[in-house]
């Protein structure tokens, strides 16, 4: 059986500026055979949901000279790569078989031949009663990130004061809810009134504020944390980090998950308040979900009951079709997404698989 394959292609590397929709284009490739080669260990998948993640900013820049670890990077002229949820159509890898649902690193196209299937995680049959798109978010990489970063890196204690930036995003909305489950006081920052309302009224944050309306972030943090901050979950960097440093309590912990405000600048902003690290004996830990693959089963056992009982909420911003994927990705960096940004390619396929 042969099919055409619609793809989102990276036009050229994007460095030192905001990505735009024009950096990508949609193309339909020639008919491809929906069979894997008999030799090797390749998995052919039909992509169901694609994930828009801030870390993809690093995959579309030319960073060949300082690639830190084995990872997947995009190449101009080829489809964008990133996380997604997919259904196995054919496989020469012993661990995957036709009909399996998987999540992991795939490409922005209808069908992908995955030649490194160790980057795929099989979705347990018992765990398809929740929206499959959740495996791009709360049940996927962002969920693992939030859980590892908050519980393993920050070691929160009941009653501590927690601040989350980009708090309505894919990871932030989970960190805030985890903080409440841990008995902490949690405040989030976000970039619009609607997001602030979401944080306070739907996601259970104790307080939230719109960072765009605060001329003095230090003063804002002093208002929301008169006692100071014990745990900061860092997503944005720049001026927010500088203000947070002034408001950390002694022995405070900062988990560095990302610094999205800095990704598109020609040169990052300088952070001036690092002497606070010594004064207050702060702990700042960079981390990545990739170091926490081993916690996935434990995390799923923790999170799935809360989802099924409606005690954890997950807000998704789903656009339909590959044509809308470039705008969705670009929107992450201008704070346009409302919750976890997902691109749905084959929603019906997902629903039918849910019914089996």
> What part of residues 312-341 is at the interface with its own copies (CB under 8 A)?
none
In the complex with its own copies, the residue whose CB is nearer, 287 or 338, is 287
68 binds its own copies (CB under 8 A): yes
Looking only at the bridges linking them, the beta strands covering 43-51 and 340-344 are antiparallel
In the complex with its own copies, the residue whose CB is nearer, 108 or 151, is 151
d(CA 37, CA 39): 6
Alpha carbon distance, N-terminus to C-terminus of the chain: 24
Q: How far is the CB of 281 from its own copies (least distance, A)?
A: 5
Asked if 345 and 48 touch (Cβ cutoff 8 Å), the reply is yes
Asked if 317 and 343 touch (Cβ cutoff 8 Å), the reply is no
Number of alpha carbons in the 13 Å side-chain half-sphere of residue 336: 13
| Measured CA distances, 257 to 45, 150, 321, 351 (Å) | 30, 10, 29, 32
In the complex with its own copies, the residue whose CB is nearer, 157 or 272, is 272
What's the farthest any 2 CA atoms get from each other in the chain? 66
283 binds its own copies (CB under 8 A): yes
Q: Which stretch binds its own copies (CB under 8 A): 4-12, 31-39, 135-143, 280-288?
A: 280-288
Closest C-alpha among 81, 83, 99 to residue 45: 99
180 binds its own copies (CB under 8 A): no
- Build a one-symbol-per-residue string for 35-64: x at contacts with its own copies by CB under 8 A, - elsewhere: ------------------------------
> Which class for 216: exposed (0-12), middle (13-18), buried (19 or more C-beta within 10 A)?
exposed
Of positions 285, 302, 313, 336, contacts its own copies by CB under 8 A = 285
Q: Where are the extended beta strands (E) located within 166-217?
A: 185-190, 207-210
Q: How far is CA 272 from the centre of its chain?
A: 28
Q: How far is the CB of 242 from its own copies (least distance, A)?
A: 9
Of positions 272, 298, 308, 311, contacts its own copies by CB under 8 A = 272
Of positions 262, 264, 324, 353, contacts its own copies by CB under 8 A = 262
Of positions 38, 266, 278, 310, contacts its own copies by CB under 8 A = 278
Asked if 234 and 216 touch (Cβ cutoff 8 Å), the reply is no
293 binds its own copies (CB under 8 A): no
> What part of residues 196-255 is at the interface with its own copies (CB under 8 A)?
237, 241, 250
Bridge partners (DSSP) of residue 190 are 210
* H or E element, residue 255: strand 248-256
Of positions 115, 274, 297, 311, contacts its own copies by CB under 8 A = 274
Q: How far is the CB of 175 from its own copies (least distance, A)?
A: 15
In the complex with its own copies, the residue whose CB is nearer, 43 or 146, is 146
267 binds its own copies (CB under 8 A): yes
Q: How far is the CB of 283 from its own copies (least distance, A)?
A: 5
Binding stretches for its own copies (CB under 8 A): 68-69, 237, 241, 250, 256-259, 262, 267-288, 291
């Amino acid at each position: 059986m042969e099919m055409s394959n619609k793809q989102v292609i990276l036009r050229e590397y994007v460095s030192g500026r905001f990505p735009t929709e024009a950096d990508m284009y949609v193309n339909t490739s020639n008919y491809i055979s929906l069979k894997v080669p008999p030799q090797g260990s390749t998995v052919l998948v039909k992509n169901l949901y694609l994930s828009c993640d801030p870390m993809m900013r690093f995959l579309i820049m030319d960073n060949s000279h300082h690639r830190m670890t084995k990872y997947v990077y995009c190449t101009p002229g080829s489809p964008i790569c990133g996380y997604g949820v997919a259904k196995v159509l054919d496989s020469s890898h012993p661990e995957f078989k036709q009909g399996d649902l998987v999540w992991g690193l795939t490409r922005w196209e209808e069908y992908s031949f995955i030649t490194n299937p160790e980057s795929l995680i099989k979705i347990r049959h018992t765990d398809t009663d929740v929206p499959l798109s959740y495996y791009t978010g709360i049940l996927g990489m962002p969920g693992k990130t939030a859980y590892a970063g908050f519980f393993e890196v920050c070691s929160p204690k009941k009653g501590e004061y927690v601040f989350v930036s980009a708090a309505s995003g894919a990871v932030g909305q989970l960190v805030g809810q985890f903080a409440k489950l841990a008995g902490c006081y949690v405040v989030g920052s976000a970039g619009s009134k609607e997001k602030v309302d979401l944080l306070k009224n739907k996601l259970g944050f104790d307080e939230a504020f719109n960072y765009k309306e605060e001329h003095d972030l230090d003063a804002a943090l002093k208002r929301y944390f008169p006692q100071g901050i014990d745990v900061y979950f860092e997503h944005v960097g720049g001026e927010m980090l500088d203000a947070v440093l002034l408001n950390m309590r002694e022995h405070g912990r900062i988990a560095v998950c990302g610094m999205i405000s800095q990704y598109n600048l020609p040169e990052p902003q300088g952070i001036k308040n690092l002497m606070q690290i010594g004064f207050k004996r702060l702990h700042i830990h960079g981390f990545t979900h990739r170091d926490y693959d081993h916690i996935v089963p434990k995390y799923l056992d923790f999170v799935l009951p809360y989802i099924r009982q409606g005690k954890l909420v997950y807000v998704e911003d789903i656009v339909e079709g590959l044509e809308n994927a470039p705008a969705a990705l670009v929107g992450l960096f201008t704070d346009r997404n409302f919750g976890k940004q997902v691109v749905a390619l084959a929603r019906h396929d997902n629903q039918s698989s849910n019914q089996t």
